[in-house]
Structure 1
Amino acid sequence: MTFWFLLLLGLATYLIVQRSVAHITRTPVWLLWLVLMTPAFILTSWTLIYGAEKSPPPGLIIWPLILSLLLYWILFLSGHRVPENTQSQTQATALQSTNNSTTTEPLPVRPIEPAEETNLRNCFPWSVYYIQNIEYRPQAVVCRGQLRTKANQAYQQIKANIEGQFGDRFLLIFQEGMDGKPFFVLVPNTQAAKQNTKRSLDNLTQAATALTLLLLTLVTTTLMGSQIAGIELTKLKSDLTLLTNGLPYAFGLITILGIHELGHYFTARFHKIRSTLPYFIPVPFFLGTFGAFIQMRSPIPNRKALFDVSIAGPIAGFIATLPLLLWGLAHSEVVPLSEKTGLLNPNALNPKYSILLALLSKLALGSELTAKSALDLHPIAVAGFLGLIVTALNLMPVGQLDGGHIVHAMFGQRTAVAIGQISRLLLLILSFVRQEFLLWAILLLFIPLIDEPALNDVTELDNKRDILGLLAIALLLLIVLPLPEVLARVLQI
Structure 2
Amino acid sequence: MWLLLLLLTLSIITYILIKRTVTSVTHTPAWLLWLVVMTPPIAWTVWYMVMDEEKSIPLVWIILPLFICFITYGWLISIGRILTKNQDSQNYSLFPNLEKKIKTLENPVFIRPITATEEQSLRNCFPWGVYYLQNLDYRPQAILCRGKLRIAPEKAYQSIKTNIERVFGDRFLILFQESLQGQPFFALVANPWAKSQQKEPEQPTTRPLFALGLLLLTLLTTTIIGTEIAGISVEQWQENLRLLLNGLPYSLGVIIILGIHELSHYLTAIRYKVITTLPYFIPIPFFLGTFGAFIQIKSPIPHRQALFDVGIAGPLGGFMVTVPILLWGLSLSKVVPLVEESNLLSLQAFDPRGSFLFAIFAKLVFGSSFIAEKAIHLHPLAIAGYVGLIITALNLMPVGQLDGGHIVHGMFGQRAAIIIGQFTRLFVLALGIIRQEFLLWAILLFFMPTSEQTALNDVTELDDRRDILGLFSLALLIMILLPLPGTLAQWLNL
Q: Shared fold by TM > 0.5?
A: yes
2:302 counterpart SS class: coil
8 A contact 2:21–2:96 mirrored in 1: no
The alignment of Structure 1 onto Structure 2 pairs a total of residues equal to: 475
Structure 2: tracts of 5 or more residues without a match: 85-92, 101-109
Compared CA separation, residues 156 and 426, structure 1 to 2 (3 A): same
2:444 corresponds to which residue? 443
Between stretches 117-126 and 236-245, larger displacement belongs to: 236-245
Alignment of 1:287-302 (within 5 A): 287-302=288-303
2:364 corresponds to which residue? 363
What's the CA shift for 1:290?
0.5
8 A contact 1:400–1:448 mirrored in 2: yes
Alignment of 1:366-377 (within 5 A): 366-377=367-378
AA at the equivalent of 2:267: F
What's the CA shift for 1:50?
2.7
8 A contact 2:97–2:297 mirrored in 1: no
Instruction: Tell me the distance in 1 between the aligned counterparts of 2:362 and 2:294.
Output: 29
AA at the equivalent of 1:152: E
8 A contact 2:229–2:247 mirrored in 1: yes
What's the CA shift for 1:22?
3.3
What's the CA shift for 1:249?
0.8
Between stretches 230-239 and 463-472, larger displacement belongs to: 230-239
8 A contact 1:335–1:374 mirrored in 2: yes
Spell out, residue by residue over 1:157-206, the C-alpha distance to the aligned partner (whole angstroms, 9 max, x if none).
Answer: 1111111111111111100111111000111111133899867x826x52
Compared CA separation, residues 418 and 74, structure 1 to 2 (3 A): closer
8 A contact 1:395–1:403 mirrored in 2: yes
Instruction: Tell me the distance in 1 between the aligned counterparts of 2:159 and 2:344.
Output: 53
Instruction: State yes or no: 1:149 paired with 2:151.
Output: yes
Instruction: Tell me the distance in 2 between the aligned counterparts of 1:421 and 1:44.
Output: 26
- TM-score, normalised to structure 1's length? 0.92
1:96 corresponds to which residue? none
Compared CA separation, residues 208 and 264, structure 1 to 2 (3 A): same
Spell out, residue by residue over 1:322-374, the C-alpha distance to the aligned partner (whole angstroms, 9 max, x if none).
Answer: 00000101111222222332212222211001000000011111122121111
Instruction: Tell me the distance in 2 between the aligned counterparts of 1:202 and 1:408.
Output: 30
1:447 counterpart SS class: coil
Compared CA separation, residues 71 and 271, structure 1 to 2 (3 A): closer
Instruction: Tell me the distance in 2 between the aligned counterparts of 1:41 and 1:197.
Output: 44
2:7 corresponds to which residue? 6
1:386 corresponds to which residue? 387
1:325 corresponds to which residue? 326
What's the CA shift for 1:91?
5.8
2:457 counterpart SS class: coil
Over the aligned positions, Cα root-mean-square deviation in angstroms equals: 2.2
User: What percentage of residue pairs aligned between the two structures are identical?
Assistant: 56
What's the CA shift for 1:78?
4.4
2:192 corresponds to which residue? 190
What's the CA shift for 1:90?
8.6
What's the CA shift for 1:111?
4.6
Alignment of 1:87-486 (within 5 A): 88-89=95-96, 110-193=112-195, 202=204, 206-486=207-487
- TM-score, normalised to structure 2's length? 0.92
1:35 corresponds to which residue? 36
AA at the equivalent of 2:73: Y
8 A contact 1:249–1:379 mirrored in 2: yes
8 A contact 1:111–1:140 mirrored in 2: no
AA at the equivalent of 2:38: M
Spell out, residue by residue over 1:4-54, the C-alpha distance to the aligned partner (whole angstroms, 9 max, x if none).
Answer: 221111111222222333354454433332222222122212222333321
8 A contact 2:98–2:299 mirrored in 1: no
Structure 1: tracts of 5 or more residues without a match: 94-107
Between stretches 8-17 and 30-39, larger displacement belongs to: 30-39
8 A contact 1:92–1:452 mirrored in 2: no
AA at the equivalent of 1:364: V
1:101 corresponds to which residue? none
Instruction: Tell me the distance in 1 between the aligned counterparts of 2:204 and 2:64.
Output: 49
